Structures are given as C-alpha cells and as structure tokens.
C-alpha cells in the first residue's frame, strides 16, 4: 500500500515528541502496514507507526493490553541501558489510550523506532541463527514468571491444529473461490498426518505441557539485529498469547532451516540448512534451557514438524476462501506458499531423527 493521506492527523493523536519530517513504508509482513516516522529533531526518537489489521485482530484493546503487559514485564528484567532498545516501547495517545481508531474504522498504534537495527527475511550464517535462538530463548525466560492467564487469547485457536483443520474443511466444503477440486494431493497430504500433528494438543490436554506466554510469530524477520550482527530484540508482539513453547521453537525453525523462501516457486530447491538448525538450538538452549520441562524438550521436535504443517493448512484455507487473510502478490500466491511449506515438511520428516538428536544433545539427553 502507499502512504495513507491521513497520516498527519493520525500521528497528531499520539503523545510524540518533536515533529515528523518524513514517512517511509517498512517491512515485508503479511498482515499489518508499517511506517517509519523520522523526527526533524535528532534529539527526539523516531517512531514506528502501524495500522493494525483488524480483520485479523478482532480484539485490538486486548492485543494492546497484552503488548503493554509483556513489554513492561520485560523492561523490569533488562539492564537499565537496554530498557529502550531491548523491547518495544508503546507511545500512548494524549489521553493515555494505547491505540487510535480513525474515521474510516482503521486502528493505529505507535512504538519507538529502534534505531540502527535491521531484520532479515533469510539468514546467511550460523552466527545469526545462534543469535536468533538466544533472543527468542531470552524472551521466553524473561516471561516465564508472568502468569499466562493475565493475557487475552486475542486470536482464539491460533496454533490449535484441530481448529485450523476444521477451518480447512469448512473452506473445502464452501469452496468459495472454486479452487477446491484442484487441491486433492495437498488435502491428502494433510489428512495423512492429522493424528501425529495432534500430539502437542494431546500433551496439553493431559496437563503434561504447561501453558506459557509465547510469541506465536517467531519468524526470523521479527528479530532486530544491531550493526555488529548481534540480536537486539524481538518485535511484532501482536500474537503474544498463552501457548506452548514448541510452537515458538517450531515457527522459528520453519523460517531458519529452509534453504529457500517461504513462498519458493521452485520446490526442488527447498532443502534444510541443518547447521543453522544446530546453531539456533544451541542459542535457544543457552538462554531457555533452564526453564524447559522434560516434556517440553520432547515437544520441541513435534513443533518443528507442526508449524510448517499448520502454515500449509492456513495458506490452503486462505487460497480456497479467495485470499482474504494473507496479503498476496499474485492470484496463486497462497497455493505456492502452501506447496513450499509441504515440501519443507517432507524434508523435515526425512531428517527427523537427526534433528531430534541435535535437540537432545543440547538438552543433555540421548534419543
């Protein structure tokens, strides 16, 4: 999208310091619209303005309260010098509200822009993977003593595979975009794995897996790196909710281990970078190893298989519904994404025992 014409009016609602000189679109996310607001006054912060996709996020007040609670908690754990740079900082409206709803019904919020950082859609080296594991591990250990029940389930059933499979079935039966008949192979692939993919849910239902506060969108590009290549903080906290640790581990691996892009059209080039997996797991265990229960350790590999599966289910569902959820660049984009996730899952399944052993090695266990 281009720069919305009412940006100046929107920004005027927020208690920002200085004056905005320049507005630039940033990021490659599939859901929100994000803008960098440069300050005319170099002694004042730059800002990050976001239009929240309220078709996806139906409970914007709950979502913003979740972000406030989580970031305030993290700030109590950070060294004083990192309080501003180690997590997001919300800029409130003049009356203290956390977001603004404009005349067209759009929801907006502002964070401090964290300067001199960059994010990556694809990684190039093991140092980045290690840093990614460390920063997501730290995120989870800093939140381990905050009660998950304090957070709203802002998207109910977000990583609940049964819920997602019900959505897929409904989309198949409704066949709104007239595309269902061409998807027999993909639907069969998904159906064959239904039971095994429910293992995390089963452990949760049996009270063997604890609810945690999870990020739920641990894509690699949601990490900000500093100029030395060190991970500085985790962003994109819209989906912070109660969940299982394996979800976050699996979603991060989904984007880290893949030799190709999430939407790679040539599936023959999709393969695994096992060295990056090892580096991520190393960083993750260094930061979060101490909080993991033995069953959580067992669940991590289940998450590695589950998250690409869930993502394939979600892309296919959206494809059959006529592309109403994820931003697309062309009509077949969601199908292309789903096929790429299916291919990634095939590779993960082929290498499952190797990956499991790597996790157990860091956990100090034998397979």
Answer yes or no whether residue 262 interacts with ligand GN1 by CB under 6 A. Answer: yes
Could you say which DSSP state residue 150 is in? G
| Nearer residue to Mg ion within complex by CB, 30 or 134 | 30
Query: How far is Cα 17 from Cα 336, in angstroms, rounded to an integer?
Result: 44
Q: Which partner, Mg ion, ligand GN1, ligand ADP, none, binds residue 334 by CB below 5 to 8 Å per kind?
A: none
Is there a contact between 229 and 138 (Cβ–Cβ < 8 Å)?
no
Answer yes or no: are the C-beta atoms of 16 and 91 closer than 8 Å.
yes
Q: Of ligand ADP, Mg ion, ligand GN1, none, which one sits near residue 239, judging by CB under 5 to 8 A according to partner kind?
A: ligand GN1
Of 131, 217, 298, 318, which lies in the binding site for ligand GN1, with binding defined by CB under 6 A?
217
Choose between 31 and 143: whose C-beta lies nearer to ligand ADP: 31
114-133 positions binding ligand ADP, by CB under 6 A: 114, 117, 119
Q: Please report how close the Cβ of residue 314 comes to ligand GN1 at its closest, in angstroms.
A: 7
Q: Does 30 bind ligand GN1 (CB under 6 A)?
A: yes
135 vs 197, beta carbon nearer Mg ion:
135
CA distance 366 to 353: 12
Q: Considering the complex, what minimum distance in angstroms separates the CB of residue 318 from ligand ADP?
A: 16
Is 132 a binding residue for Mg ion by CB under 5 A? The answer is: no
109 near ligand GN1 (CB under 6 A): no
Q: C-beta of 332: minimal distance to ligand GN1 in Å? A: 16
Residue for token digits 């409206």? 93
Q: Which of 10, 56, 93, 267 binds ligand GN1 (CB under 6 A)?
A: 56
Q: Given candidates 13, 16, 29, 233, which one binds ligand GN1 under the rule CB under 6 A?
A: 29
Q: What is the 3-state secondary structure (H, E, C) of 70-136?
A: HHHHHHHHCCHHHCCCCCCCEECECCCCCCEECCCCCEEEEEECCCCCECCCCCCCHHHHHHHHHHH
Q: Does the protein bind ligand ADP through residue 272 (CB under 6 A)?
A: no
Sign of CA dihedral 23, 30, 249, 170: positive
Q: How far apart are the first and last CA of the chain?
A: 49
Assess 239 for contact with ligand GN1 (CB under 6 A): yes
CA distances from 260 to 121, 122, 175, 249, 304 (A): 10, 8, 30, 19, 17
DSSP conformational letter for 151? S
**Least gap, CB of 208 to ligand GN1 (angstroms):** 25
User: What residues contact residue 201 under an 8 Å CB cut-off, 6+ apart?
Assistant: 160, 161, 162
Alpha helix (H) residue ranges in the chain: 7-12, 60-77, 126-142, 161-174, 184-192, 194-197, 199-205, 245-256, 274-288, 294-321, 333-350, 352-363
Determine, following the binding rule CB under 6 A, whether residue 256 of this chain makes contact with ligand ADP.
Answer: no
**Binding status of residue 255 toward ligand ADP by CB under 6 A:** no
Site for ligand GN1, residues 298 to 317, rule: CB under 6 A: 311
Q: Site map for Mg ion, 20-49, x if CB under 5 A?
A: ---------x--------------------
Binding site for ligand GN1 (CB under 6 A): 29-31, 56, 217, 219, 236, 238-239, 262, 311
Binding site for ligand ADP (CB under 6 A): 26-27, 29, 31-32, 34, 48, 88, 111, 113-114, 117, 119, 221-222, 224, 235-236
């Amino acid at each position: 999208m281009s720069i919305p014409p009412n940006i100046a009016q929107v920004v005027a609602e927020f208690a920002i310091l200085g004056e905005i000189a320049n507005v630039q679109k940033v990021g490659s996310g599939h859901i929100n619209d994000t803008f960098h607001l440069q300050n005319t006054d170099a002694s004042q912060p730059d800002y990050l303005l976001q239009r929240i996709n309220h078709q996806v996020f139906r409970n914007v007040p709950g979502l913003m309260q979740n972000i406030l609670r989580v970031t305030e908690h993290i700030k109590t754990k950070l060294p004083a010098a990192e309080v501003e740079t180690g997590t997001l900082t919300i800029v409130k409206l003049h009356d203290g509200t956390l977001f603004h709803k404009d005349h067209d019904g759009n929801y907006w919020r502002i964070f401090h822009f964290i300067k001199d950082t960059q994010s990556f859609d694809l990684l190039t080296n093991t140092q980045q993977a290690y840093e990614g594991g460390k920063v997501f591990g730290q995120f989870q250990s800093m939140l381990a003593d905050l009660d998950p029940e304090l957070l709203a389930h802002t998207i109910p059933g977000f990583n609940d595979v049964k819920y997602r499979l019900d959505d897929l079935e409904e989309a198949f039966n409704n066949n709104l975009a007239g595309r269902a008949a061409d998807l027999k192979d993909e639907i069969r692939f998904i159906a064959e794995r239904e039971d095994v993919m429910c293992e995390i849910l089963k452990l949760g239902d049996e009270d063997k897996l604890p609810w945690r506060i999870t990020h739920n969108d641990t894509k690699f590009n949601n990490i900000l790196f500093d100029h030395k290549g060190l991970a500085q903080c985790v962003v994109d906290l819209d989906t912070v909710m109660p969940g299982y640790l394996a979800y976050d581990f699996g979603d991060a691996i989904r984007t880290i281990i893949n030799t190709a892009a999430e939407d790679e059209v040539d599936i023959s080039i999709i393969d695994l970078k096992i060295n990056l997996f090892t580096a991520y797991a190393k960083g993750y265990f260094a930061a979060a190893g101490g909080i993991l229960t033995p069953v959580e350790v067992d669940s991590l590999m289940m998450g590695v298989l589950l998250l690409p599966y869930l993502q394939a289910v979600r892309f296919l569902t959206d494809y059959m519904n006529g592309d109403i959820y994820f931003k697309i660049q062309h009509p077949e984009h969601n199908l292309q994404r789903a096929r790429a996730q299916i291919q990634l899952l095939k590779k993960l399944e082929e290498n499952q025992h190797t990956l499991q052993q790597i996790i157990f090695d860091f956990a100090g266990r034998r397979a």
